[in-house]
Amino acid sequence: MISIFSIAVVLIFTLDTNTIEFVREIRPGYILTALVIHLFSFVFWGLRIKSMISALGYKVGLIRSFEIVVSGTFVADLIPSSIGGEPLRIHLLKQDQISIGKATAIILGERILDAILMLLAAPFSIYLFNGILSDPRMNAVVVLRWTSFSN
């Protein structure tokens, strides 16, 4: 309900004829490319979770790990603060005969790897955006936005 209300408010205050024209100008190939890249990100995420499971001595197929990733992402997108994805992934790993402690370690390990990647990418991103965005206030926006992702 919060998401629907937020989308409605944004549309009410920002939707005009220019918006519709801009959307019509988007090439379908770009949207298809974005969808394919997004799908591949889920596949790579599935490979990562599969390799972490294998490191603990369990076997889960790529399709099952893909299902775990997509299911967790779906639930996380439905719940405010994305808090529901990790518990669901832990539950799904438990269904594959992985103990709750090891399943929690796998999911926590994922989050730690994500945090490390963001920490390594942040200086490069700030440097890159510093060359693109000439307004120094934008550096603060980039840093603040990055810190909200890392929490």
How does pLDDT run along the chain (151 residues), one tens digit per residue?
777 888 888 888 888 878 888 888 889 999 999 999 999 999 999 999 999 999 999 999 999 999 999 999 999 888 877 778 899 999 999 999 999 999 999 999 998 998 898 888 888 877 776 666 666 666 666 666 655 554 4
Give the residue from 118, 96, 120, 117 showing the smallest Cα distance to 106: 96
Between CA 132 and CA 20 the distance in angstroms is: 27
Q: Is the pTM of this model over 0.75?
A: no
pLDDT at 131: 64
pLDDT at 16: 80
pLDDT at 146: 55
Between CA 149 and CA 151 the distance in angstroms is: 6
Sign of CA dihedral 10, 11, 16, 18: positive
Burial (0-12, 13-18, 19+ Cβ within 10 Å), 38 = exposed
Helix, strand, coil content of the chain in percent (nearest 5): 85, 0, 15
> Domain extents for the chain?
2-150
Q: Give the three-state DSSP class for 76.
A: helix
pLDDT at 151: 46
